[in-house]
Amino acid sequence: MITVHHLDNSRSQRILWLLEELKLPYDIQFYKRDPKTMMAPKSLRAIHPLSKAPIITDTDGNVTLAESGAIIEYLINKYGNGRLAPARETPEYIRFLYWLHYAEGSAMPPLLLKLIFGMLPKQAPLPIRPFAFLIAKGVQSKLINPQLKLHMDYWEHSLSENEWFAGNDFTAANIQMSFPLEAAAAARAGAIKNRPHVAAFLHRIHNRSAYQRALHRGGAYAYANEGSKAAP
């Protein structure tokens, strides 16, 4: 049996969605963020030393695995039976691998930096808070926001060429790419402003029945609210 160690409002929502697309049975172990730090609870460290979601355990093989991309590849290779991935030795498969790893390796770092520098002024001691605000604003405007725009324009261009990332067939690469796009839309980074293909992508994924089933099982997920703002 597969168990997903699921942290609220996190990347682990993608794994629930993947399992629903594959129609595999699974259990969920729920974890809540610390309301002050927004970090995962220490109880998750008992499952994996880094206490980062997502983590799955699979009793079939005694597997404990972290990292979204690794989990997706594991589940598809073991249980997919050819579903949600292009055939190997095809150009589409190479693109599939690219987007599967681009999501965390390239797309998420600037989004995380935007989150961190957005929180910085609030975390700074009161006497230096104005200076922290100016520093955070400068870093975002000079470094982070231009990088985010570069990535968001890249998404728009890629989705203008094909209906989905990696081609015109729906694959797990789109599940992996969902979080960066949802996070960028929720972070007021302008992901869906003047980017109709990004907006349409979010609308399509949020209306998939497997996505909705994953929401029902996983509970509240703030980023799904961006679907109502994305034009069909």
User: What is the pLDDT at residue 231?
Assistant: 47
3-state helix, strand, coil in the chain (%, to 5): 60, 10, 30
202-225 burial code (b ≥16 CB/10 A, e <16): bbbbbebebbebbbebbeebebbe
As given in the structure block, the two tokens for residue 152 are 């968001």
The pLDDT of residue 207 is 95
Residue 227 is predicted with a pLDDT of 47
Q: Which domains does the chain have, with CATH numbers?
A: 2-79 (3.40.30.10), 91-208 (1.20.1050.10)
pLDDT for the residue numbered 230:
47
Q: What amino acid is encoded at 173 in this protein?
A: A
CA distance 183 to 226: 9
Instruction: For the chain, list residues with pLDDT below 70.
Output: 37-38, 136, 188-189, 225-232
**Using CA atoms, how far apart are residues 230 and 140, in angstroms rounded to an integer?**
25
Give the list of residues 6+ apart from residue 53 with CB closer than 8 angstroms, or none.
5, 6, 7, 10, 11, 12, 31, 40, 44
pLDDT tens column, 72-99: 999 999 999 999 999 999 999 999 999 9
Q: How far apart are CA 192 and CA 121, in angstroms?
A: 27
CA 126 remoteness from chain centre: 33
Q: What's residue 123's pLDDT?
A: 74
pLDDT number for residue 228: 45
Q: How many residues does the chain have?
A: 232
Write the DSSP symbol of residue 223. G
